Amino acid sequence: MALVERSYQLLTIQMRDRDLNKSSVEMRFSALADLTDFLLAIPTVVVAALAGISDAVVVGWTLTRQAVDSAPADPGEASDVERKGVFSALTDNGHTVTVSVPSIKNTLVIDRTNQINLADALVIAFTNILDGTTLLDTAFMVSNRDEPVIEVIKGEKHHRASSKG
Amino acid sequence: MAAIDRLVRVHLSDRDDRQGYITLRLSLLTSMADTIDSVLTVLVPATLAITDAIATKVSVIYKESLDYTLPGSGSLVSHAALVFWRNTDDDIAALIIPALADTIEYTDDESYGVITDLSIFDELTSVLVDLEAMDAQGIPINGTVIAASLFV
């Protein structure tokens, strides 16, 4: 099968009570005429409406759109998500950010090292997304400080438990 | 708006059905549909070229953590309301609202209570109709509340 895009956005509003128990309200939205207006409406209008009928507090929300493969092919024998390709990159302010790729191909790792071959054409095609503007015309990758990623400087093979993603 | 995280996540699975994912943080808020199209046409193929795993799901996520103060001692998320709307297509939409406010009255009928004053949901209904919301099963919420009960 293939990844098939779902036609809706899922809004999950996370709530918490006095004893820190968690619960949520889930709803779908098929079309968002103006995404910016909608994102503003969540904490102001939707949260306010919930506050009128609930004693819990809203602690956060997520809005998600997905594409899902409902019948994926069997992964190859060599696949192992705990074998990760960890790419390190610099932001325009000199900070570093990392991106992990589960089950990095061993053929992209330089023999007798754990270094990923950054000169390989397949690797370049991927790192161009991290430090370039090829993902979107208007959006690019940033760090958690909102600093643009400007250069991938290193790629290493690591083994990490899959529970950490 | 600066506090909103904008993430793209590609979920991968291996031969032993273990899960991993790639997460990228994006610079701008754009159309979610356009973003996921770009991810499917650019990021996913580039990722699959360097991994032995398979892609099972792609998510574009906007999320925000809100400042809050601990609610009063009466709040209990398991003391929820199950609210039903009949929409313009005569379908029934439903939402569960955690921690029904203890000021709301309901009948004490065995193990559940029926909420008698449905007008308390008017503001929420107005908001959801304006935003063209659907319930978690995709049924539009564009009508009026026809019933609500305590859902513990």
- For β-strands B54-65 and B19-26, DSSP reports them as unpaired
A54 in Cβ contact with B136 (< 8 Å)? no
Residue A113: burial class (beta carbons within 10 Å; 0-12, 13-18, 19+): exposed
ipTM comes to 0.88
Residue A74 falls inside a structural domain: no
Q: Please tell me whether residues A25 and A48 are part of one structural domain.
A: yes
Q: Please tell me whether residues A118 and A88 are part of one structural domain.
A: yes
Q: Which pLDDT does position A158 carry in this prediction?
A: 95
B73 in Cβ contact with A2 (< 8 Å)? no
Q: Please tell me whether residues A91 and A137 are part of one structural domain.
A: yes
Q: Say which residue the tokens 């046409």 belong to.
A: B41
Residue A73 falls inside a structural domain: no
pLDDT tens, position by position, A70-123: 999 999 999 999 999 999 999 999 999 999 999 999 999 999 999 999 999 999
Q: Which pLDDT does position B139 carry in this prediction?
A: 95
Which residues in chain B (78-97) have CB-CB distances under 8 A to chain A?
78-81, 95-97
H-helix or E-strand spanning residue A37:
helix A35-41
Q: Is the pLDDT of residue B101 over 60?
A: yes
Residue A35 or residue B54, greater confidence: B54
> For residue B21, what are its two tokens?
């994912």
Residue A60 falls inside a structural domain: yes
State how far the Cα of A92 lies from the Cα of A119, in Å rounded to an integer. 22
pLDDT range class, residue A162, cuts 50, 70, 90: low
The total number of structural domains in chain A stands at 2
> Which of these ranges, A34-48, A56-70, B50-64, has the smallest mean pLDDT?
A34-48
Contact flag A52-B65 (C-beta cutoff 8 Å): no
pLDDT range class, residue B31, cuts 50, 70, 90: confident
Q: Please tell me whether residues A94 and A150 are part of one structural domain.
A: yes
Closest CA to B6 of A143, A137, A33: A143
CB contact set of B145 (below 8 Å; sequence gap of 6+): B83, B84, B85, B118, B121, B125
Residue A131 falls inside a structural domain: yes
> For residue A83, what are its two tokens?
């074998």
| Residues of A in Cβ contact (< 8 Å) with B73 | 18
Q: Please tell me whether residues A24 and A57 are part of one structural domain.
A: yes
pLDDT tens, position by position, A29-58: 987 778 888 888 888 899 999 988 999 999
Among chain B residues, the shortest Cα distance to A65 is held by: B60
Q: What is the largest CA-CA distance in chain A?
A: 63
The phi, psi pair for A38, rounded to 5°, reads: -65, -45
Which of A13, A45, A68 is the endpoint of a domain? A68
Q: Which pLDDT does position A34 carry in this prediction?
A: 80
Residue A75 falls inside a structural domain: no
Q: Please tell me whether residues A156 and A96 are part of one structural domain.
A: yes
A28 in Cβ contact with B138 (< 8 Å)? yes
pLDDT range class, residue B2, cuts 50, 70, 90: very low
pLDDT range class, residue B21, cuts 50, 70, 90: very high
Contact flag B71-A56 (C-beta cutoff 8 Å): yes
Residue A77 falls inside a structural domain: no
Q: Which pLDDT does position A165 carry in this prediction?
A: 45
Q: Please tell me whether residues A124 and A91 are part of one structural domain.
A: yes
Q: Please tell me whether residues A90 and A50 are part of one structural domain.
A: no
Tally C-beta pairs within 8 A across A and B.
317
Share of chain B above pLDDT 90, in %: 65
> Which of these ranges, A11-20, B52-61, B102-111, has the smallest mean pLDDT?
B102-111
Residue A39 falls inside a structural domain: yes
Which of A68, A103, A120 is the endpoint of a domain? A68
pLDDT mean across residues, chain B: 89
Q: Please tell me whether residues A20 and A52 are part of one structural domain.
A: yes
Which of A68, A98, A118 is the endpoint of a domain? A68
Q: What angle do CA B82, B85, B90 make, to 5 degrees?
A: 140
The phi, psi pair for A98, rounded to 5°, reads: -120, 150
- Structural domain of A132: 83-160
A139 in Cβ contact with B30 (< 8 Å)? yes
Q: Is the pLDDT of residue A135 over 70?
A: no
Q: Model-level pTM?
A: 0.86
State how far the Cα of A143 lies from the Cα of A122, in Å rounded to an integer. 23
Q: Which pLDDT does position B150 carry in this prediction?
A: 85
DSSP A89: E
Q: Is the pLDDT of residue B128 over 90?
A: yes
Q: Please tell me whether residues A59 and A96 are part of one structural domain.
A: no
State how far the Cα of A89 lies from the Cα of B94, in Å rounded to an integer. 46
Q: Please tell me whether residues A64 and A106 are part of one structural domain.
A: no
Output b/e per residue, A137-149; b: 16+ Cβ within 10 A: eebbbbbeeebeb
Q: Please tell me whether residues A47 and A111 are part of one structural domain.
A: no
Q: How many residues does chain B have?
A: 152
Cβ of A37 under 8 Å from any chain B Cβ? no
Q: Is the pLDDT of residue B111 over 60?
A: no
Q: Which pLDDT does position A136 carry in this prediction?
A: 62
